[in-house]
């Protein structure tokens, strides 16, 4: 709230320091997307601040990429497990059906 007021009053340095505190708090809470958004806002307020926080923005962006990759890999692993479970159930049904057919043939052959 104070940062928005500082921006409206033209006190960019005060706004930047308030937004940096907010971004660091979000970052400590592992809210990477929120922290990235705040740092982008800081960069848009002042060109000097934008250059100052380019490294932090790149770091957060790469952190989000890593999280997205892990999430995709997790989904792929779960899909593979579900496919394996379905194949196992289908094979068990196939084996049971084959056993029933063999029993029927043995009974008919007697």
Burial of 17 (0-12, 13-18, 19+ CB in 10 A): middle
What is the tens place of the pLDDT at every residue in 52-106? 888 888 888 998 888 888 888 888 889 999 999 999 999 999 999 999 888 888 8
State pTM to two decimals.
0.58
CA distance 27 to 69: 19
What is the tens place of the pLDDT at every residue in 16-47? 888 888 889 998 998 888 988 888 888 888 77
CA distance 102 to 62: 60
């Amino acid at each position: 709230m104070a940062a928005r007021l500082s921006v409206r009053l033209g006190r960019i340095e005060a706004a930047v320091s308030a937004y940096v505190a907010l971004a660091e708090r979000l970052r400590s809470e592992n809210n990477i997307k929120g922290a990235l958004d705040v740092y982008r806002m800081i960069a848009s307020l002042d060109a000097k601040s934008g250059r100052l926080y380019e490294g932090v923005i790149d770091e957060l962006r790469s952190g989000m990429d890593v999280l997205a990759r892990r999430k995709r890999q997790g989904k792929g692993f779960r899909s593979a497990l579900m496919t394996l479970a379905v194949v196992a159930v289908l094979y068990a049904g196939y084996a049971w059906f084959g056993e029933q057919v063999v029993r029927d043939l043995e009974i008919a052959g007697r």
